[in-house]
Every structure is written in C-alpha cells, then in structure tokens.
Amino acid sequence: MNQVLNISCYKFVPLPDAAALRDLLHERALAAALKGTILLAHEGINMFLAGPAAAVHGFVDALRTDPRFADLAPKESWSGTVPFRKMLVKVKREIIRMDHPAIEPSEGRAPAVTPATLHRWLAQGHDDAGRPVVTLDTRNAFEVDEGTFDNAIDWRIGKFTEFPPALRAHQAELADKTVVSFCTGGIRCEKAAILMREEGLTHVYQLEGGILKYFEETDGAHYRGGCFVFDERRTLAADLSTGTPRAATENAIDK
C-alpha cells in the first residue's frame, strides 16, 4: 500500500539568508524524519521530500509561515517506500544551474500555460491564435529517453548549462511557432522560457508545474513513456504510479 507522500516544489525568490535557512530546514526535516533533498540559493528553493503525509504536510505548513514561501504549492505523488537514502539540505550557487546570471526568475516570469491548455492545443494542433505549437524538452537527454511529449523538440543536452548554446544554434527553427518549454516540475522550463524571450522569441510559454502537474491534471494524452524522477522510483507513469525502481542513489535535482 502506498503510504509514503512524495512532494516536489520550487520557488524563485531572493534568499540572502540561504546559509541560515539551511541549518533551520535541516533541523526541521530531521525532526520530522523526512528524507530527500532541499537546495537553497540566492535565487530560491528547490526541494524533493518524502515521508508520512502528516510529517510532510507539517513541514510545508511551517515553511509557509515565512512570507516568502506562503504560496508554495507542492506536487504530490505516493509510493510504498521512501525513495531517498538520507536528508540533504545544501546551499548552491543556483537551485538549477544554468550559468546564465542575467536570468532572474524572481524579477519576472515568462508567461505560462496550464496543463489543460497545453492538452487542448496539442489535440487541436495549434494555439488559440492558429499558430503551430511545438513542445521543447529542456531536460537532459537521459531523462528524455524515459518519456516525453509526442514530437517534442529534443536537443540532446547533457546538462542544463548546455541549454543556452543549444538555443542559439537552433533558434531559427522556432521562429513563427508557439513554443511551450517543459521539464519535470517546472523549474528548468521557467528559466528556459525567460532566456528564449530575452533572445527574441515572441510566442514562448512555460508549462505550469511541468510534466508532473500535466500528469496530475490531465489524462496524460500526447505524452509517451514515463517521467524520469531523481530518486529510487526512477520513473512515474501518467497516473503518477511508480515505474521501474532502481538502486538507491543520491538525489541530483540540481543537474
């Protein structure tokens, strides 16, 4: 029986006190017997946690008492066992490394589309203005190989820092199209969408909540395979059930 609650959540918000937060959140997570990874940086927070539902919800509720995190909206899934070996809280240079310091999502997001809107656009073959819609997978190649949207653009990047040069090499192919960037939970496609708009692409959106939110709010149509996750579950199916488990590894959500 699936009694372990797994959450993923991020928010771009200035955190000048990231080092102090690291100690506080690590202490709270250990006290609640949670496992997973929390990344903190000057640009925000990114976390994957697992444990009993009451403990996970209690941790999030305590985090929301900080006004900067009041609107956190974690994505949830369930498993039979905890898919992490330990509890890690780290301070990093970026919560998702792009090596493009001019991109500051906390200063303004790119427009987003809901899972329902993307589902409808893909079914009809165009956006509401009649422009052709393409989906752009911003994840690493090994993640894409586990599953992606039908006919998604995949530049075979090995890590997210390769996205900016890949964009510049392929930018002409995206002209005159509506581009929806997507990733696992929204964090990478948020930075990617901002970069694309700064590079001059007009009709660019990010998929709100990423693939996991798409699975949660739609029937998963137009997506083939599973969604790779950085824990022992390996992949999640469109119904958010666990795919093929793998041996325990340290979570690497910042790659």
DSSP letter for each residue of 78-133 = EESS---SSEEEEE-S-SS----TT--GGG-PPPEE-HHHHHHHHHHTS-TTS--E
Q: Give the distance, in angstroms, between the CA of residue 228 and the centroid of all CA atoms in the same chain.
A: 11
Which of 9, 183, 189, 227 is labelled catalytic? 183
Q: Are residues 119 and 79 in the same domain?
A: no
Q: Is 189 a catalytic residue?
A: no
pLDDT for position 244:
56
pLDDT for position 251:
44
Model confidence pTM above 0.85: yes
Query: CATH number, domain at 200?
Result: 3.40.250.10
Between strands 178-182 and 133-137, the pairing is: parallel
**Would the pLDDT of 48 be above 90?**
yes
pLDDT for position 225:
96
Q: Are residues 120 and 227 in the same domain?
A: yes
Question: pLDDT, tens digit, for every residue of 189-220?
Answer: 999 999 999 999 999 999 999 999 999 999 99
Q: Which of 91, 123, 149 is the last residue of a domain?
A: 91
